[in-house]
Structure 1
Amino acid sequence: MNKVLLFNPRSARTKPRIPNSILSIAAALEGIYGYAIIDGNLETDPWQKINSYLASGEFAYFGCTCMPGPQLRQAIPFSKQIRELYPDVRIIWGGYFPSNQPKVVLYSGFVDFIVNGPGEKCFPALLQALDKGQSYTSIPNLIYRGAQGIIKTGKDELYDQDALPRLPYETLNQFYPLRRYLGKTYLGTRTIAYHSSVGCPFKCSFCAVVPIYNARWRGKSAAGIYQDIKFLKDNYGGNAIEFHDNNFFVSEKRTVAFSKLIKDENMVWWGEGRIDTIDKYSDESLELMRASGCKMIFFGAETGNDEILQRMDKGGTQSSAQIRAFAARMAKFDIIPEYSFVLGTPADTPEQVMKQIDQDIAFIKEIKSINPKTEIIIYLYSPVPTEGSELYKKVLASGFHFPEQLEDWISPHWENFDLRKNPLTPWLTPEMVDKIKDFETVLNGYYPTVSDIRLSAFKRGVMRTVSAIRYKTGVYWKPYELKLLQLLWKYRQPEIEGF
C-alpha cells in the first residue's frame, strides 16, 4: 500500500504549535493509508528527512499544508525538489494560500492538486481514485489543472465536527514529543493550540477564509472540545488554550457550555471573535467566560470609519460607536480585547488615503483612552481575491496584481506582504507606510503588549518614558530610539510571532 508523507512547513512563530490541519488529514488516513509526519518547525533540516522518506520508495504522495507568508519558504522549494527527484510522487497542497491562489500554484508544474477547504473526506478519496486509476472529477473540494485550464469541483458540506475521527495525538507523539508543542506563553507554561470549528458565517472582503467557506461555519460541541482539552491536560500537562478558530464565539450557547465544563480545570484561554457577535452576549455569559479562564479575545476592529467598514463587507452591525462601547464593556469583565486594525485601504486620491490613516491613528488612541488594557494589532491592508467585492474591484483598478510565478512569492517583499507588513500596493506611498509603522513603534513603546512575557517591569517603564512625548504630541517620525530599544530587548509582535 502506498504511503503518504505529510509536511507542516516552518511558520514565523517562535514556538511550534500542534499542527491541527495535518493531524486532521492524518486522522482521515488511519486504517486506510500509512503515513509519516514531518514538522518543519521542529527540524533543523526538514529536507533531509523528506528526502530519506521518499528515497525509500514507500511514499507515493506528499501532502503539504500552506499558509501565506513564511511557510512558502519551505513549501515551494521542497515541492520543486520532489518533482525533480521523485517525478512519480503526487504533490497535494492544502491551506489558505493554494485555495486563494490556485492558478499560480498549479501552473508552477510541481503541484498536482489543491484541497480547497476541509480535506477529511476529499484527501483520502483522491488517493484512492489515483491508486485505482479512477476519475476524481466528482470529488468535492478539489482544484486541479485540466485541459481547459483550472478546474474547481463542487464544495462539499461542512462536516459534523463531532462525527470526524479524533485527532491522533498519540501518533504525533511518536514522531515528535507532543510536550514540545505545549510551550510557555502569556497564557500559561504549557499552552495547547486547538481548532474547534471550521469557517465563519460572515463575508468580510479582506478575509482569506471567505472564498473557501462562503459564509459557512460548523463547530465541534462543547463536550467534544472539553474531552480533547482534558486529554491533553491529563496526559501532556496542558494548562492553557489558544483557540485558533476563525471565529470561536459564533454560538453563545456553545461558548457558555464550554465555559461551564472548563471552569474547574484552572486553565487560561484565548480565542478569536467578532465585536458585534459577542456584544450580544449577556453579562452572565461574559462573567462565566472570565471565571472559566477566558483572559483575552482577538477582534477585528479594522477601522473607525463606518463607510470603510461597509466597504469591507463587515456584515452584522459593527460600527465605530460599537467598537468604542465594547472596549469599555470588556473592561468591566476583566477580559482584554485584542483589537486589530487594517490601515491603508484604497481610496480615490492619495490625500484621502492619508486622511483615513490619520483618522484611524486618532481612533486607536481614543480606544486606548477608553480602555488602556486594549491590545492593538496593526496591519497594512493587503488584498484578498474575493470575487464581487467592491473593495477588491478598487484594488484591481489601481493596477495591483499578484505574482504570476509561484517562486516569486518567496521574495522578501511578497513574504512581508503576506504578513501584512509590506503592502506592495500602488495607492500607498512610502510616506504613508512609514507613518503607519512609526506610529506602531511609538504605540508599542507607550503601551507594550502584555503578551511579551520576557519584558520586565523595568523595561516596560523605560519604553513608556522614552515614548511618552512622541505619543502625547503625535510626533511619530523616525522613532529610532524606540526601535533600538525594541531591537535590543527583542520586542515580540504577537501578530507575527503569536504569544
Structure 2
Amino acid sequence: MNKIILFNPLSAVAKHRIPNSLMNIAASVEGKYDWVIVDGNCETDPLQKIQSYLYTGEYKYIGVTVMPGPQLKQATPVCKAIKAKNPQVKVIWGGYFPSTQPDTVLCSGYVDFIINGPGDHAFPLLIDALENGTPYEFIKNIIYKTDTGIVKNGKEDLIDQETLPPLPYDKLDTMYPIKKYLGRTYLGEKTLAYHSSIGCPFTCSFCAVVPIYEARWKAKSAQTVYKDIKYIKDKWGADAIEFHDNNFFVSEKRAVEFARLIAPEKMSWWGMARIDTMDKFSDASLQAIRDGGCKIIFFGAESGNNDILEQLDKGGTQTGDQIIRFAERLKKFDIIPEYSFVLGTPAPTPEKVQAQIDFEIEFIKKVKAVNPNTEIVIYTYSPVPTEGSELFKQVLDAGFKFPQTLEDWVSPAWENFDMRKNPLTPWLTPEMINKIRNFETVLNGVYPTVTDIKLNDLKRRSIRFVSAIRYKASLYKYPYEIKLLQRFWKYRQPEIQGF
C-alpha cells in the first residue's frame, strides 16, 4: 500500500497539454514506487477516477499540482472529499499556489505537505521518509504543519537538468493517449507542450516565479531538448512546440543551437523571453531562431513608463523606448512579438492611478503603430506575495488582503483575480477597471489576435470595420457591438486561454 496517484486538476476547458510537472514527479519515483496519473482535463469526474484507485487499497499518496485559477477550483473540493473519505491518505500539493500561500493550504485540513519549488528530489525523499517513519525535517523544498505552526524547510539548489531521468511518455500513453495532448493551435495541427528549463534569473516583484526560484535558472542542453522533441515528433506526429519555460531565451547560445538543430524538422514554436535580453541578440541569432521555426515570442513588456518598470522591480535594462524599438526590430525577422502589459499598479492618489492607465493605453497604441503585428496581452495588476519587495509593501499599506481559506479562494471573485481580470485591489475603482477592459475590447477588435485560428478573414475584416472608428477617436466606453461579435464568434483571449 504505497502506490502514488498524481492528480492534474482541470486547467482549461478545451486545451489538453501533457502534464509536464507531474511527469517530472513520475520520473523521480519511476522504478521505486508505482504511480498513475489522473488528468482532470481528460476525465469527466476525476474524483470518481481517484476513488476507484483508492478503493483497491493499494494507493497511499496523492500528489497534486496546483496553479491559481481553474486548477485550484477543482483541486480544492476534490482533495477535501478525498481526505474526508480516506483520512489515512497523504495529500501533497505542489505548484505556484501552495508555494505562495502555504498557510492557507495547510490550515485547510486536507493537505498534509507542500512541495515548495522543484520536487524532483523532494517528493521521492518525502515518500521515503513517510514509508520508513524517518524524519523529514531536513528534506529541502517541503512545507508542513506541526502543533506549533507552519514549518518551511530550506530551499534546495536548482538541480542540473541534464541529470534528471527522461520523462515517461510511453507509460503516460497507456493511461491517456499522447496524441490527445497534441492540440491544434496557431502554431500547428499537433502542438506539443514542453519544459526545457526552470526558473528565471530576474526578481520582478509582480511575478509568482520569484518567491519559488529566487532569481535562479537551470536549463536542459539544446541537444537534450531536441532529442526529446524529435522522439515525440517521430512517434506521435507532433509538428509544433509551446515552450512553457518561464524564460526560454536566457542563453543566446542555447537558443540558437536548438534552433539550428530543430530547423530540419520543420516545426513551428513559441517561447517566453525578456525584451532587454533578446535585444542584445545579434541579427544573425534572431535570423537563425526564425529559420529554426520560431514564429512568435512572448515578452513581459509590463509598462512603457520607466518609473512603473522600477516600481515593478523589472530589473535589467528595459525601458519604454526599448520596448517600441525592439517591436520594430523584430519586423524584419518576421517574428511576432507578443507583449504583455500590466495596468493598474498602486499609486498615492486615484488621479495618479488613472493617469498611469491612460499613459499605458496611449503607449500600447504607439507600439501598434510601429509594428501592427505585435500581439498585445493586457493584464490588470494582481498582487503576488513577494516577501521583502517594496511593491508588496505598497500593496499591504493600501489595505489589500488575500483570502484566508481555500473555500474563499475558489469563489468567483477570487477566481477572476487569479485570471488577472478583476484584481479586487482597493486603489482601482470600477470605472478604472471598465476603462481597461473596454480599451482591451476595442484593441482586440481592430487587431484580432493571430492565435485565434477559428476567426476567418471575413470575420476579421468585419470586426475591424466595426472597431476602427472607436480606436482612432479613443472612444472606448460601451463597446457593446464589439463585445457582441466577440461573444458570438467565441473570440479567443490569449491571456487566459493561451493559443
TM-score, normalisation: structure 1: 0.99
CA distance in 2 between partners of 1:326 and 1:487 (Å) = 33
Give 1:14 shift.
2.2
Normalized against structure 2, the TM-score is what? Answer: 0.99
Residue by residue over 1:133-171, the C-alpha shift from the partner in whole angstroms, topping out at 9 and shown as x without a partner, is 110000000011123311111111111111100000001
In structure 1, give the amino acid aligned to 2:468: A
Aligned to 1:313: 313
Question: Does the 8 Å CA contact 1:13/1:498 hold for their aligned counterparts?
Answer: no
> Identical aligned pairs, as a percentage?
65
Greater shift, 479-488 or 140-149, is seen at 140-149
Displacement after TM superposition at 1:388 (Å): 1.3
In structure 1, the residue matched to 2:215 is 215
Aligned letter for 1:445?
G
Instruction: Note the alpha carbon deviations across 1:14-57, whole angstroms, 9 max, x for none.
Output: 21001000100000110110011100001111111011111111
Q: 3-state DSSP class of the match of 1:185? A: coil
Match of 1:428 in 2: 428
Residue type of the alignment partner of 1:11: S
- 2:259–2:289 CA contact under 8 A, matched in 1: yes
Give per-residue Cα distances to partners, 1:264-323, cap 9 Å, x unaligned: 110000000000000010000000000010000000000111001011111100000110
Aligned to 1:336: 336
Which amino acid in the other structure matches residue 156 of structure 1?
E
Matches within 5 A, 1:265-280: 265-280=265-280
Q: Are 1:476 and 2:452 matched, yes or no?
A: no
Tell me what 1:293 maps to. Answer: 293
Q: Which amino acid aligns with 2:415?
A: E
Q: Write the letter of the residue equivalent to 2:270.
A: W
Trace 1:359-374 onto structure 2 (pairs within 5 A). Answer: 359-374=359-374
Amino acid at match of 2:451: S
Shift of 1:12: 2.7
Distance 1:150 1:204 in 2: 26
Please list the CA deviations of residues 457-496 of structure 1 after superposition, one character each: whole Å capped at 9, or x if unmatched: 0000000000011000001001000000000000000111
Equivalence for 2:398: 398
1:243 deviates by 0.2
Q: 2:474 and 2:208 mapped to 1: Cα distance?
A: 34
Q: Amino acid of the residue matched to residue 38 of structure 1?
A: V
Amino acid corresponding to residue 26 of structure 1 in structure 2: A
Helix, strand or coil at the partner of 1:233: helix
> Matched residues in 1 for 2:150 and 2:223: separation?
41
Alpha-carbon deviations, 1:402-422, whole Å to 9, x = none? 001111111010011001001
> Which residue does 1:66 correspond to in 2?
66
1:117 aligns with: 117
Amino acid of the structure 2 residue aligned with 1:275: I
Residues matched between the structures, number: 499
Contact kept in structure 1, 2:304 and 2:319, CA below 8 Å: yes
Q: CA RMSD in A?
A: 0.6
Q: Is the 8 A contact 1:13 1:496 kept in 2?
A: no
CA distance in 1, matches of 2:123, 2:341: 36
- Structure 1 residue 251 corresponds to structure 2 residue 251: yes
Aligned partners of 1:74 and 1:436: how far apart in 2? 29
Tell me if the contact between 2:12 and 2:41 (Cα under 8 Å) persists in the aligned partners: no
What is the correspondence of 1:118-133 to structure 2 with a 5 Å cutoff?
A: 118-133=118-133
Contact 1:200/1:216 (8 A) holds in 2: yes
SS at match of 2:163: coil
The Cα shift of 1:13 comes to 5.1
1: CA distance, partners of 2:244 / 2:214: 19
CA contact (8 A) 2:340 2:376 kept: yes
Equivalent residue number for residue 322 of structure 2? 322
Secondary structure of the 1:42 match is: coil
Question: Structure 2: which amino acid aligns with 1:443?
Answer: L
Contact 1:122 1:140 in 2 (8 A): yes
Which residue number in structure 2 is paired with residue 281 of structure 1?
281
* Alpha-carbon offset, residue 97 of structure 1: 0.2
Matches of 1:73 and 1:59 in 2, distance apart? Answer: 24
Residues in 1 aligned to 2:176 and 2:75: alpha-carbon distance in whole angstroms = 20
Tell me the amino acid that sits aligned with residue 486 of structure 1: Q
Q: Equivalent residue for 2:461? A: 461
After superposition, the C-alpha distances for 1:211-266 in whole angstroms (9 at most, x for unaligned) are 00000000000000000000000000000000000000000010011011001110
Amino acid across the alignment from 2:280 = K
- Long gaps (5+) in structure 2: none
